[in-house]
Chain A
Amino acid sequence: MNIAYSTELICFLILSSVIVSGSLAVVLLENIVYSAFLLGGVFMAVAGLYLLLNASFVAAAQILVYVGAVNVLILFAIMLVNKKEKLKPIDGLKTRKLISGGVCGGLLILLLRVSITTDWNIPGPTSIGEEATERIGEHLFTDYLLPFELASILLLMAMIGAIVLARRDVSITNDNINDLTNQKSLSDKKIRLLSENSLK
C-alpha cells in the first residue's frame, strides 16, 4: 500500500463519516440553527468527495452554489425570523415519527440492495482532471443546451415571482398609507386575498 493510496482512503473514510453523521444530525437535532450550519458542513464534505474523485471544478461549484448561496440563504431566512420559542406539540407525533422513520429505513434498505446487487464497473473511467472545465463548457453548449436553457428560464421565473410577491403592496395610494386604521384594514384584506389565492 503506497502513501498516495492510503491518504486517499483515510480522506474518504473521514469525509464519508462526516457526511453520514452530519446529515443524520441535520435531521435529528432539535435546534434548527444547528441543523442549518451542519448542512453547510455536509455540503463541504460532499465537495471534498468530488475533490477525491479529481473533479475540482465540480467541487468548487458545489461550494459556491450550495455553501455560498443555498446555505447562506437558509441561514438568512432562519435568522430573520429568529424566535426562540418551543414548537407547539403536534397530535400523534410519535406515530408520525415512526411512519417517516419506517419510510426512510425502507428507502435505505432499497438503496443498499441496489448498490450491492449492481455489477459496478471497477475501475471506472479515468478522470480528465484539469480538462474538466472545458469539457463541461462544451457539453453545456452542445448536447445539454436545452436542459441548460430550461433551467435558466426556470430560475428567471422564480426570480420574477419573488419580485412580484415582494412588491405586492405598491398599489396602495398615499392617502391610505397616512391613515393608520385604513392601513390596518388594508393589510387585513391583503392577508385574506393571499389566503384565497393560495386555496385555489
Chain B
Amino acid sequence: MNSGIDLEMSFTQGVQNLGLSHELAHLLWIPLPMLLVLVSAVIGVLVTVWLERKISAAAQQRIGPEYAGALGILQPMADGLKLLVKEDIIPAKADSVLFTVGPILVLVPVILSWLIVPFGQNLLISNVGIGIFLWIALSSIQPIGLLMSGYSSNNKYSLLGGLRAAAQSISYEIPLALAVLAIVMMSNSLSTVDIVEQQNTAGFLSWNIWRQPVGFIIFWICALAECERLPFDLPEAEEELVAGYQTEYAGMKFALFYLAGYINLVLSALLVSVLYLGGWGFPISIDWFSSLIGLSIDNPLVQIIAASLGIVMTILKAYLLVFLAILLRWTTPRVRIDQLLDLGWKFLLPISLVNLLVTASLKLAFPMTFGG
C-alpha cells in the first residue's frame, strides 16, 4: 500500500528547517487540522441548511429562500447571524448553570467525533486505534446534555422532550453498535482508515454495502434516530411538546442545539459512506486507472489528483445520503413513541444480532470474501 500524501510530515519538516525543535513543530501542527475540520464542519452545516430549505420548498411546491445571494445561498449565513445577535434569555426559575452547560455537552462530543472521519489515506486528524469505537463512546455522552437541558429549563415539555431524547438515543445506540461490530469483524480493525482500505480493493464491487446490506439499513435507520431526524423526531415533536428540550432556549444557546443536530447529520452521512460506501474510494480502482494511462501510483501528479478525488468522493457520497435524509424528513410522517421503541428493541435489535451471527459464520465459511 502506498502511503499517499503526508501533510503532517512535510509541515513539521518545513518548520524544522526554519530552526525550531521537532516538538515545537509538532505543537504548531496540532491546531491546524482541528481548525480545518471545525471550519469544514460548520460549512457543511451551512450547505445542509440551505439544501434543507431548498429541498423542503421543492417538496412542498414553493420556491424557498431566494433573495439572499444567488438561489438564496446566503440564507443560512443570515440565519446564523440572526441567532448570534439575538438576546440570550435564561428563564427566571431555570437552573442557570445546567441550562448553559447542557447545549455545550450536546455539541462538543459531536465535534470531537470528527476526529476519526477520514477524507483520504492521511487526511484525518488522528488515526486512533480505537477509531469507530471512539465515535460510539462519544455519542453516548450526548443524552446527558439533553437530559440536563430538559431538566434545567423548568418546563414540563422540556423535561418530557429530554427524557424522550435520552430514551431514544439509548435504545438506538445498541443496534447501531452491533451493525458497526459486523463491519469491524469483516475488516479486522476498528480504525476507519483500515475499514476504508479493506473496501477499496476492486472499485465499487468491494464496498461493504454488498456484503452488509442489512447492516447498512440498520445503521441508516439508527443514525437517523440518533440525529432526531423526522421519522424519529419525537423529542421535539411540535404538535405534542412545543419544541421538546429546546423550548426555553433562544439565541446562541439554541444555535448550539441547531448546529449539533446538523453536524451530527453530516457526520452520520460521512460515517455511512466510510463504513459502507468505500469512503474516499473512487468507484473504479485508482491503481487500475493509473496503470491504464501509464503513470506510476507514486507519481506526484497522480497522488494529488487521487487525494482531491478522494475528498470529492467522500463529500459527494455523504451529501447524497444527506439528500436522502432531507427527502425522508419532508415526505414521511412521524412514528409514535411506542412504535419507535418497538422498532428499536423488538425489530432492529434482534435483526442486528442475527446479522452479526450471519456475518461471523460467513467469515468462517468464506474467509476470502468476508475478510478472514
Contact partners of B143 in chain A: CB under 8 A: 68, 72
Judge whether A63 is part of the interface by a CB distance below 8 angstroms.
Answer: yes
Contact partners of B144 in chain A: CB under 8 A: 37, 40, 67, 71-72, 75
**Contact in complex: B137, A64 (CB < 8 Å):** yes
B161 nearest CB across to chain A (Å): 12
Contact partners of A75 in chain B: CB under 8 A: 144, 147, 166
Judge whether A3 is part of the interface by a CB distance below 8 angstroms.
Answer: yes
Contact partners of A63 in chain B: CB under 8 A: 137-138, 140-141
Q: Mark B93-107, 1 if CB is under 8 A from A, else 0.
A: 000001000000000
Closest residue on chain A to residue B98 by CB atoms: A37
Question: Which of B74-82, B127-135, B208-216 binds A?
Answer: B127-135
Judge whether A106 is part of the interface by a CB distance below 8 angstroms.
Answer: no
A82 to B167, CA, bound (A): 17
Contact partners of A12 in chain B: CB under 8 A: none
**Contact in complex: A68, B173 (CB < 8 Å):** yes
A3 to B24, CA, bound (A): 8
Contact partners of A2 in chain B: CB under 8 A: 23
A113 nearest CB across to chain B (Å): 36
B185 nearest CB across to chain A (Å): 11
**Contact in complex: B166, A56 (CB < 8 Å):** no
Contact partners of A4 in chain B: CB under 8 A: 23
Judge whether A25 is part of the interface by a CB distance below 8 angstroms.
Answer: no
**Contact in complex: A60, B137 (CB < 8 Å):** yes
A43 nearest CB across to chain B (Å): 10
Contact partners of B27 in chain A: CB under 8 A: 3
Closest residue on chain A to residue B129 by CB atoms: A130
B15 nearest CB across to chain A (Å): 14
Q: Mark A67-95, 1 if CB is under 8 A from B, else 0.
A: 11101100110011010000000000000
Within 8 A of A (CB), among B134-152: 134, 136-138, 140-141, 143-144, 147-148, 150-151
Name the residue among B140, B159, B167 with the largest chain A CB count within 10 angstroms: B140
Instruction: Tell me whether A80 and B129 are in contact in the complex, defined as CB-CB below 8 angstroms, given that A63-B141, A72-B170 are known contacts.
Output: no
A4 to B26, CA, bound (A): 11
Instruction: Tell me whether A60 and B98 are in contact in the complex, defined as CB-CB below 8 angstroms, given that A79-B147, A79-B151 are known contacts.
Output: no
Q: Mark B183-215, 1 if CB is under 8 A from A, else 0.
A: 000000010000000000000000000000000
**Contact in complex: B147, A56 (CB < 8 Å):** no
A131 to B27, CA, bound (A): 26
Closest residue on chain B to residue A7 by CB atoms: B27
A81 nearest CB across to chain B (Å): 12
A68 to B109, CA, bound (A): 12
**Contact in complex: B163, A79 (CB < 8 Å):** yes
Contact partners of B141 in chain A: CB under 8 A: 44, 63, 67-68
Contact partners of B133 in chain A: CB under 8 A: 57, 60, 64
Contact partners of A131 in chain B: CB under 8 A: 129
**Contact in complex: A72, B163 (CB < 8 Å):** no
Number of residues on chain B facing chain A (CB within 8 A): 28
Instruction: Tell me whether A72 and B147 are in contact in the complex, defined as CB-CB below 8 angstroms, given that A61-B137, A64-B136 are known contacts.
Output: yes
Judge whether A133 is part of the interface by a CB distance below 8 angstroms.
Answer: yes
**Contact in complex: B130, A37 (CB < 8 Å):** no
Please tell me which one of the listed residues B23, B134, B151, B163 contacts residue A33 in the complex, with CB atoms under 8 A apart.
B151
Please tell me which one of the listed residues A60, A80, A82 contacts residue B134 in the complex, with CB atoms under 8 A apart.
A60
Judge whether A161 is part of the interface by a CB distance below 8 angstroms.
Answer: no
Closest residue on chain A to residue B23 by CB atoms: A3
B94 nearest CB across to chain A (Å): 13
Contact partners of B24 in chain A: CB under 8 A: 3
A30 nearest CB across to chain B (Å): 14
Judge whether A102 is part of the interface by a CB distance below 8 angstroms.
Answer: no
A154 to B51, CA, bound (A): 50
Judge whether A101 is part of the interface by a CB distance below 8 angstroms.
Answer: no
Closest residue on chain A to residue B95 by CB atoms: A33
**Contact in complex: B129, A76 (CB < 8 Å):** no
B115 nearest CB across to chain A (Å): 12
Q: Mark B267-303, 1 if CB is under 8 A from A, else 0.
A: 0000000000000000000000000000000000000
Contact partners of B129 in chain A: CB under 8 A: 56-57, 129-133
A73 nearest CB across to chain B (Å): 8
A67 to B147, CA, bound (A): 13
**Contact in complex: B23, A64 (CB < 8 Å):** no
Contact partners of B130 in chain A: CB under 8 A: 56-57, 60, 133
14 A-B Cβ contacts within 8 A? A3-B23, A3-B27, A33-B151, A60-B136, A63-B137, A63-B141, A71-B144, A72-B140, A76-B147, A76-B167, A79-B159, A82-B159, A129-B129, A130-B128
Chain A residues at the B interface, C-beta cutoff of 8 Å: 2-4, 33, 37, 40, 44, 56-57, 60-61, 63-64, 67-69, 71-72, 75-76, 79-80, 82, 129-133
Chain B residues at the A interface, C-beta cutoff of 8 Å: 23-24, 27, 98, 128-130, 133-134, 136-138, 140-141, 143-144, 147-148, 150-151, 159, 162-163, 166-167, 170, 173, 190
